[in-house]
Structure 1
Amino acid sequence: MSRALPAVPSAAPRRLPRLVLALSLALAAGSAGAQPAAGARVPPPQDTPYPGTVAVHVDASDTRQGIFRVHETLPVQAGVLTLLYPKWIPGDHSPSGPVAMLAGLKVSAGGKPLKWTRDEYDVYAFHVDVPEGVSSIDADFQYLSDRSGGYEMTDRMLDLEWNKVALYPAGHFSRRIIFAPSVTLPHGWQFGSALEPAGQTQASRSGDTTRFKPVPFNTLVDSPIYAGQYFKRVDLTPSGGAPVHLDVVADEPKYLEMTPEQVQAHRNLAAQAVKAFGSHHYDHYDFLFSLSEQLGGNGLEHHQSSENGLGADYFTAWKDSAPGRDLLAHEYTHSWDGKFRRPADLWTPNFNVPMGDSLLWVYEGQTQYWGFVLTARAGLWTPAQFRDALAMVAANYQRNREGLQWRTLEDTTNDPTAAHRESLPYRSWQMSEEYYSGGQMLWLAVDAKLRALTHDGKSLDDFARAFFGVDDGSFVTKTYTFDDVVAALDGVAKYDWADFLRARVDALDPPLLDGVQGTGWKLVYTDQPSDYERQYDSRPQSPRHLFNFAWSIGLTLDDHGQVNDVRWDGPAFKAGVSTGATLVAVNGDDYSRDVLKQAITAAKGGTAPIQLLLKFQGGYRTVSVDYHGGLQYPHLVRVQGTPDYLSEIIAARK
């Protein structure tokens, strides 16, 4: 999943008490005669091969209406066949499969229609009675991509995710079902994918249709396609390593232009990652990268590729595009952390068995850590940009940490399922997937502790090589538990790592800023934003274009003055400001970002409140904000007399 954004501010399964568990089982038994259990007609997955190969063809040429047209041919046997639409999507960590976008489903055999019925309790399951003598059936349907914004298909590019355009037979592990995929693209378009064309290049293509080598269904779902009218492939292969490519699609040809220095920085990323982890777990790796103001849904990891997308001017406005540059490093890290090594409760035999998210603070949290570090080691960020980005994360857990007074970091691993990434009215109080950036701060503290314990002889690099670098070249997922993480840390340096980790993931008010000070730096605030933070305010194409006053008055606002978030118990909150309100005027002057900044500056050291005129729910009201601390922007400064571990952490590895 896409890395967390630093500018803005699940619990492990618990055993039921025996009495409650007994009552639950008794009630379940008593009601068994009343109605079948949910999904009872859906065969559970077995580790047995599905007989034959499923052919799936996607016609993705209708860019005007955004319709993916799907045709499948499945070998079958007589009896009831259950087809599943993928529900639990790896990387989303939640039941996010968009089954509502499947339409027009028709099933036939030999040209004659067969009736299908949706399961009464599982909307992702479709049952078909296969007659005697029928050896194959055809399934046709459409996937209707979003046409309201954040498009999956535009007139210049598309993102084809196979989990959205495939039905698969129930009753088998997904790795035991073989699919032969093919796709038809708009004329003249080129594409990037981890899939490999079938046979020789000419034999695999017929006009605008490309056939790919058959693969297990889990591999197919893990191998999306980015295609576009304007396409460029750049070789990033590190010396002596497996092939790595940057496959770029752009809104216009001019956005494909790259300087030699930019290309080299991306080559450095591939090299620095392999040096950090000491291995690779792919035959070849493709960064699928869209540069667009239209294409959405970017930011998802896969074993041999990743879906990435930033503003169209990523290369052409390089000096102003530092925010977001950690995206590629984050998703690339997932090839090791998340795809090869995966929490045991996140591995499932198919895409319709529920996932557990209790260790996302490793899966996503450590990936967030390495995303920042590798971006700096590659030269995609300067050391100052790295520190400024980290300062914003640290400030979030110093000034916007109210929610961690009632929720633990581990409890936020439930958020993908509980909140489905919907907008939240009071994020600083509710918290939102803090296992990303909170997990990042945790792993910075682990790195600092390892260095302190070993007098700078060992670091998190040693953990990464021992934990993620095993079985070089292997594609087989290697799962882990909390105890495995503790044991690997103990192998680097003896310590009570279980208590160290639990104090940060399973306790209220965790010490998430320890890592900053432990690496020889401290968090301070001035009235001037860093160049890195200034880019969030100045560029509409930035990952989260918000005017950020979170550290001072306690507000973030969008371009139009609408309040995006109010810091819980902050000055604006105490004055009665609500999320969703629109700031119309400040001290009697029409609102603008500069007018608000001037008012906050003028109030510093005084006693007069800042008057805000708000429009909300069809009415207007004025609130008085009693804040006199001036503008506040986070920065990191050195703690003299201490080792500068932070600079060592981001130094490029030779």
Structure 2
Amino acid sequence: MLRRAAFAVLLASSVATVALAENSKPQPTPIENTIPVAVDKPYPGTLTLDVDATDTMRGIYVVKETIPVSGSGEMVLLYPKWVPGGHTPRNEIDKVVDLHITAAGKSVAWKRDPVEVYAFHLDVPKGAKSIEVSFKYVTSTKGDQGRMMVTRNLLSLEPIGTSFYPAGYFVRQIPIRMTVKYPEGWTASSALNAKVTGSTYTYEPTNYEILLDSPMLAGRYYKKWPLSDRVNLNVYADTQKELDSATPAMIDAHKRLVDQAVKTFGAQHYDHYEFLLSISNELGGIGLEHHRSSEDGTRMGYFSEWEANAGARNLLPHEYTHSWDGKFRRGADLWTPDYLYPMRNSLLWVYEGQTQFWGYVLQARSGLVSKQDTLDGYAAIMANLDNTPGRNWRPMIDTTNDPIISNRRPKGWTSNQRSEDYYNEGLLIWMEVDSILRQQSKGSKSIDDFARAFFGINDGDWGEVTYTFDDVVATLDKIQPGYDWRGLLTKRLYGVGEPAPLGGFERNGYKLVYTDVQPSIGKQAERARKYSDFYYSLGVNVAADGGLSSVRWQSPAFDAGLTIGDTIVGVNGLAYSDDRLKAAVTEAKGTKTPIILLVKAGEEVRSVSIDYHDGLRYPHLVKTGTGESGLDLLLQPR
């Protein structure tokens, strides 16, 4: 009995000792930052960059770069990380292969920084006057690898992907000269002037900042149209026939775009400007702003199917506006001295939002897109944002973080997750500003006054002038004193739980309605993207094969359990077609009979009943008064 009790005490003591023992608890390894901070001083020497872009079969750029050095010892090379205009650290460093560094013909070892993977450490040997960097940039060969940049007839060459630069300097202080060898018989365009010898283009010396802001577009089939004494439309296409389809009237509309933009902003912030427009079903589409050029990529038919592609013609007005808004005037927290310094996106509702606003205005003022198609485009924007439940929890200002948070990956529930709403909701906010300016000034002021005051300064200056939220408010206060602009903008940016700000359109004489008649521009979008629009009725967009490409949160389809990835295979007992689904929605209007869908999800097939009876619904803008409204005046040519 005593021995058993002693054993129990010993066991209890042992258990207590184990319970009191601590698990291993390591401490973090300190992070040592050995990357020099950029300073505003000249780099000692001129970099040379040579790119061989002739391998169009495999889409491989062969790069050789010479970087002068002023002494031996540790050096850090940087590959551009943050992409201007992309608003995110997404430059495709994974496409850099076969990286070798030498000095005086001898190999120099490099080591990637363990924390900042866009930085490379190396030791420059004694006596070296320069280092030579060679690598290959392997462009995407399939769409799921990223944007297609090289085809058998076209190529897009972005120096931001084909160069390194020395750490420790503002990029505007690094001189560089670039040479590119293109395929035989091709032509190339860029904002940089070049001396052409055969198929080799030797570009004018510049600095690294301007080089990276000056991409090249090249191809087999090319045509150039001067739009003004300072602006050119450079067009490359898959076929010569597409270029030959451009009529004088089409080109005149582009000339009016330039004329209307200059009249609107009152200044030009470039010595010359080059539209770099690719029309291709093979080269990846793009819309990326630069100070003296823009990369504009759309599918075949821009000219040859002009009447059926009104929606594609918003691209050039938007990107051209960025020369003023985003490139010349830039949010102070977005401007950076190099491409490692983090960009902050808090003012994208001006950078992108007001650019979106002016893109639509200028397309109408120039006649590049008709007024009716512009109104229908507005209606689509308004309806989308007014059917966004995500407004109840996520403020618009937070969507300026989306390029970094989601890196523009597809989303399953965009209407509740929200996406980069600063574009289109920014448009709505600036329409509201315009309407209040007109109302408060009794028609003597409008957003045109803001454009000239904010963007029309320093004619000919193509540097950057930064601004803050306070600067935006101060400009509005100066144009129209006595209104609480700070309060309005703060509410629109940070508020939640409110409907979309449609008041600017309503104050400017138009309201949003829904009918069963689909606008022409909506039909064009369906054809171009190969889907059918039931977004404001059932709450889905349906691809040509019946797959659901979007499902609106809290819609009839959502309530029935449908989601992206499901495929509709049957409608009311018959095989799926978009016409049958439209007919079913129409026939159910005003009845109590549900729409029965046969839906495939993975390997499962199930019957889904949707209790919806309001018919087809498409958004439209209708005028609410007589005479010329504020919106009518806004869209008139200057």
TM-score between the two structures when normalised by the length of structure 2: 0.94
In the aligned structure 2, how far is the partner of 1:592 from the partner of 1:359? 44
Structure 2 partner of 1:335? 323
2:211 equivalent among 211, 220, 224: 220
Q: Against the structure 1 CA distance between its residues 497 and 512, is the aligned structure 2 distance closer, same or farther, given a 3 Å change threshold?
A: same
1:170 corresponds to 2:167: yes
Structure 1 partner of 2:184? 187
1:583 is displaced (CA, Å) by 1.2
1:406 corresponds to 2:399: no
Flag structure 1 segments of 5+ consecutive residues without an equivalent: 1-30, 198-203
1:34 is displaced (CA, Å) by 4.8
Amino acid at match of 1:499: G
Structure 2 partner of 1:79? 73
1:559 is displaced (CA, Å) by 2.2
The alignment-based identity, stated in percent, is 47
1:455 equivalent among 406, 426, 442: 442
Once the two structures are superposed, the pairs formed by residues 493-504 of structure 1 within 5 Å of their partners are 493-494=480-481, 495-504=483-492
Structure 1 partner of 2:363? 375
Structure 2 partner of 1:465? 452
1:48 is displaced (CA, Å) by 1.2
Structure 1 partner of 2:198? 207
Flag structure 2 segments of 5+ consecutive residues without an equivalent: 1-25
Check conservation: 1:299, 1:307, Cα contact below 8 A.
yes
1:145 is displaced (CA, Å) by 0.5
Once the two structures are superposed, the pairs formed by residues 285-304 of structure 1 within 5 Å of their partners are 285-304=273-292
Q: Against the structure 1 CA distance between its residues 509 and 34, is the aligned structure 2 distance closer, same or farther, given a 3 Å change threshold?
A: closer
- 1:336-367 Cα shifts (integer Å, max 9, x gaps): 00000000110011011111001101100000
1:490 is displaced (CA, Å) by 1.1
Structure 2 partner of 1:351? 339
Structure 2 partner of 1:22? none
1:205 is displaced (CA, Å) by 2.9
Amino acid at match of 2:84: P
1:569 corresponds to 2:554: yes
SS of equivalent to 1:60: strand
Amino acid at match of 1:408: P
Structure 2 partner of 1:154? 151
SS of equivalent to 1:466: helix
1:623 is displaced (CA, Å) by 1.2
Structure 2 partner of 1:605? 590
1:35 is displaced (CA, Å) by 2.8
1:50 corresponds to 2:38: no
2:421 equivalent among 405, 422, 434: 434
Structure 1 partner of 2:462? 475
In the aligned structure 1, how far is the partner of 2:163 from the partner of 2:285? 18
1:164 is displaced (CA, Å) by 0.3
Structure 2 partner of 1:92? 86
User: Could you say which structure has the larger radius of gyration?
Assistant: 2
Check conservation: 2:570, 2:576, Cα contact below 8 A.
yes
Check conservation: 1:152, 1:297, Cα contact below 8 A.
no
In the aligned structure 2, how far is the partner of 1:369 from the partner of 1:167? 36
SS of equivalent to 1:345: coil
Check conservation: 1:442, 1:515, Cα contact below 8 A.
yes
Check conservation: 1:572, 1:625, Cα contact below 8 A.
yes
Check conservation: 1:60, 1:185, Cα contact below 8 A.
yes
1:616 equivalent among 579, 582, 601: 601
Check conservation: 1:536, 1:547, Cα contact below 8 A.
no
Single out whichever of 83-92 and 619-628 deviates more from structure 2.
Answer: 619-628
In the aligned structure 2, how far is the partner of 1:558 from the partner of 1:45? 49
Amino acid at match of 2:120: F
Check conservation: 1:520, 1:642, Cα contact below 8 A.
no
1:445 is displaced (CA, Å) by 0.8
Amino acid at match of 2:391: L
In the aligned structure 2, how far is the partner of 1:229 from the partner of 1:93? 32
Check conservation: 1:519, 1:643, Cα contact below 8 A.
no
1:558 is displaced (CA, Å) by 1.9
SS of equivalent to 1:299: strand
2:119 equivalent among 116, 125, 128: 125
Check conservation: 2:232, 2:273, Cα contact below 8 A.
yes
- 1:256-276 Cα shifts (integer Å, max 9, x gaps): 021110010000000000000
1:419 corresponds to 2:406: yes
In the aligned structure 2, how far is the partner of 1:559 from the partner of 1:487? 50
- 1:504-549 Cα shifts (integer Å, max 9, x gaps): 1110134411111011011111111011111112x3xx3x443211
1:211 is displaced (CA, Å) by 0.6
Single out whichever of 604-613 and 348-357 deviates more from structure 2.
Answer: 604-613
Structure 1 partner of 2:543? 558
SS of equivalent to 1:164: coil
Q: Against the structure 1 CA distance between its residues 104 and 297, is the aligned structure 2 distance closer, same or farther, given a 3 Å change threshold?
A: farther
1:313 is displaced (CA, Å) by 1.0
1:207 is displaced (CA, Å) by 2.6
1:455 is displaced (CA, Å) by 1.2
Amino acid at match of 1:457: S
1:248 corresponds to 2:245: no
SS of equivalent to 1:162: coil
2:56 equivalent among 47, 50, 63: 63
In the aligned structure 2, how far is the partner of 1:172 from the partner of 1:243? 32
Check conservation: 1:402, 1:429, Cα contact below 8 A.
yes
Structure 2 partner of 1:114? 108
In the aligned structure 1, how far is the partner of 2:627 from the partner of 2:496? 29
In the aligned structure 1, how far is the partner of 2:438 from the partner of 2:189? 41
Check conservation: 2:285, 2:298, Cα contact below 8 A.
no
1:265 corresponds to 2:262: no
1:292 is displaced (CA, Å) by 0.4
Structure 1 partner of 2:514? 525
1:470 is displaced (CA, Å) by 0.7
In the aligned structure 2, how far is the partner of 1:454 from the partner of 1:291? 44
- 1:474-511 Cα shifts (integer Å, max 9, x gaps): 12200000010001111111210011111111101344
2:308 equivalent among 303, 320, 331: 320
1:642 is displaced (CA, Å) by 7.6
In the aligned structure 2, how far is the partner of 1:244 from the partner of 1:314? 20
Check conservation: 1:322, 1:385, Cα contact below 8 A.
yes
1:380 is displaced (CA, Å) by 0.8
Count of residues paired in the alignment: 607
In the aligned structure 2, how far is the partner of 1:295 from the partner of 1:361? 30
- 1:383-422 Cα shifts (integer Å, max 9, x gaps): 1111111111111122x22111110110000000000000
Check conservation: 2:285, 2:299, Cα contact below 8 A.
no
In the aligned structure 1, how far is the partner of 2:239 from the partner of 2:560? 47
Amino acid at match of 2:620: H
In the aligned structure 1, how far is the partner of 2:324 from the partner of 2:531? 33
- 1:151-206 Cα shifts (integer Å, max 9, x gaps): 10001001111100000000111111111111010001001100111xxxxxx333
SS of equivalent to 2:286: coil
TM-score between the two structures when normalised by the length of structure 1: 0.91
Check conservation: 1:329, 1:374, Cα contact below 8 A.
yes
Amino acid at match of 1:397: L
In the aligned structure 2, how far is the partner of 1:545 from the partner of 1:366? 30
